[in-house]
Structure 1
Amino acid sequence: MSDAPTLLTAWKSAQTALKAQKIDSPAIDARLLLEAATGCTRLDILTDPYRAVTADQQATLDGYLERRLRREPVSRILGRKGFWKIILNVTPDVLSPRPDTEALIDVALLAFEPGQHFHAIDLGTGSGAILLALLTERPAAHGVGTDISSEALAVARENAANLGLDGRAAFLRTEWAAGFGDRSFDLVVSNPPYIPSDDIPGLDPEVRDHDPVLALDGGPDGLQAYRDLAPEIMRILKPGGVFAVEIGWDQGPQVKALFEAAGFADVKVVKDLGDRDRVVTNGPDPRTTPIRQG
């Protein structure tokens, strides 16, 4: 009987190695790396578990595991990350999108009917994740993403093209909403940097060593971006328009107060699936309103 690894033994062995180093979600990480190294799918692992893994495929998997054990995120190793219902290319120039941010998508989808035409802007767009997830769900919508990083904008444009959304999404290099006219947008979304500067060294290595500091550092108290954004969002939002910004779990009251001071009414703090404060918005709260799917 051959001792060559199979999909099943390679998966289990990879899981064991990751578990031993206390890596979060070892089963999922091991599966994603195995799929990438062998070209198999999740279904293949279930239905053809004894398929042989070649020496070259095992060597590729070992290389991936080595990087993951050094705390490099799977999204960086593979150069792509799933977010909402889309797959995005990610590079060291952009924040790797996180499931927490999907709470912001929930709010935005509630605010606009599936067939409704509206114009959105994503401030500090990075990989384009938020804007592209929204446009995927709302086919009559158009949007623009801004960023001060030319490298990030190149990634966002590539993601839009890969998703067939480049006809409805534009990406421009500017600081937040600089250059856009007053009352231009029906929806304004943003996931700005909100980590206090002094907290960055204590972040998990996957974030601290692999996400761009520009996308993390929110200044001494983590709130600088919101001070800049609140009046700008008030300026560019149409009357009756909706804004939604992601926040750190402990920043709800302070960010809500900043947007109220900028003139917004009915500002609320929305929780994510982990029951932590995650979004400040003047839009609907998914916990009290059913989501309209397209």
Structure 2
Amino acid sequence: MHEDATYKTALAIAARRLKSAGMAHGARDARHLMQHVSGLTAAELIRDEGDEIPARTRAAFFDLVERLAVGEPFEHLTGEAHFYGLDFRITKDTLIPRADSEVVVDEALARLPLGHPPSIADLGTGSGCLLAALLANHPGARGLGIERSKRAAEVAYSNMERLGLSDRAVIRCRSWEDWMGWDEVDLVISNPPYIASDVIPTLDASVRSFEPHSALDGGRDGLDAYRSIIDLAAAHMKPGAWLVFEIGFDQRAAVTALLDKAGFSAISCGQDHGQRDRVVSARR
């Protein structure tokens, strides 16, 4: 066996390629990609580093390494993302769940009523990560995910199934403008499109080129979705129910002003782990 054909050598080559692309954790990412394509655990990969790597595995591995080096998100390469202690299926049709959004789940969990099994609606559910995290951490809750993209809705449904939540979650493929159940839920949560249209071309290439623009583009000022949801909630939401939004780091004042003008109370804002404004909640 030639030394160049081992797992160890392939990992070294990949780490150099990713480092040259400016990736600070190239060696770690390379090992994770190797585990993904080979099916080996971390311990097995350490054990087998000196073994010959099958040609098909080597080719698949270097294909993923090159795609990662040119900016394709790691989660798209593996088809999975970790969020709030759960593993989600991810495709190019959904936003990648990010740790910054976990504070949105924290805020929503704190707003769920304790006197009865709560009902939740997630508007623009995407992968279903927010809804699934809430249901997984509140066993009595039931939820509805609204998603206008058929492909994204299919991903959300598959995630509810794989996480054992499909008996408490319903996914509907429709727009939130067509949803008629506002007065039936205790909490509405949403991570809507909130990037201003002219900002999208300036985003990191891994977002700009690979994530669905329909889940990013919030219109001229980034507030179109908030206006839509707040207007509908103000007209149809039952008194005492909560609205919980993920927001952009610079949108606190604008979103809270919209809620205040619409007559919501108990408006508050929370920050993510980077001390950036990330979540706004309000009571009808």
* TM-score, length basis structure 2: 0.91
Greater CA drift, 51-60 or 145-154: 51-60
Q: 1:28 to 1:183 in 2, by over 3 A?
A: farther
**SS at 1:233's partner residue?**
helix
Please tell me whether the aligned partners of residues 145 and 170 of structure 2 are also in contact (alpha carbons under 8 angstroms): yes
Q: Does 1:105 align with 2:105?
A: yes
The one-letter code matched in structure 1 to 2:168 is R
1:17-166 alignment runs, 5 A limit: 17-23=17-23, 25-45=25-45, 49-50=49-50, 52-112=52-112, 117-166=117-166
Instruction: Show CA shifts across 1:41-94 (max 9, x none).
Output: 234345665455333222211011111122111111222222222222222221
Higher helix share: 2
Aligned residues: 283
Greater CA drift, 272-281 or 14-23: 14-23
CA distance in 2, matches of 1:88, 1:261: 37
Unpaired runs of at least 5, structure 2: none
**SS at 1:81's partner residue?**
strand
Paired residue for 1:289? none
Please tell me whether the aligned partners of residues 197 and 218 of structure 1 are also in contact (alpha carbons under 8 angstroms): yes
Instruction: Show CA shifts across 1:172-225 (max 9, x none).
Output: 122225332342111110000011101111111111111111001010111111
Please tell me whether the aligned partners of residues 37 and 60 of structure 1 are also in contact (alpha carbons under 8 angstroms): yes
Unpaired runs of at least 5, structure 1: 284-294
Please tell me whether the aligned partners of residues 194 and 222 of structure 1 are also in contact (alpha carbons under 8 angstroms): yes
**RMSD of aligned C-alpha atoms?**
2.3
CA distance in 2, matches of 1:15, 1:87: 25
Paired residue for 2:214? 214
Q: Percent identity over the alignment?
A: 39
Q: Does 1:271 align with 2:271?
A: yes
The one-letter code matched in structure 2 to 1:56 is R
**SS at 2:57's partner residue?**
helix
Shift of 1:27: 4.0
Please tell me whether the aligned partners of residues 125 and 146 of structure 2 are also in contact (alpha carbons under 8 angstroms): yes
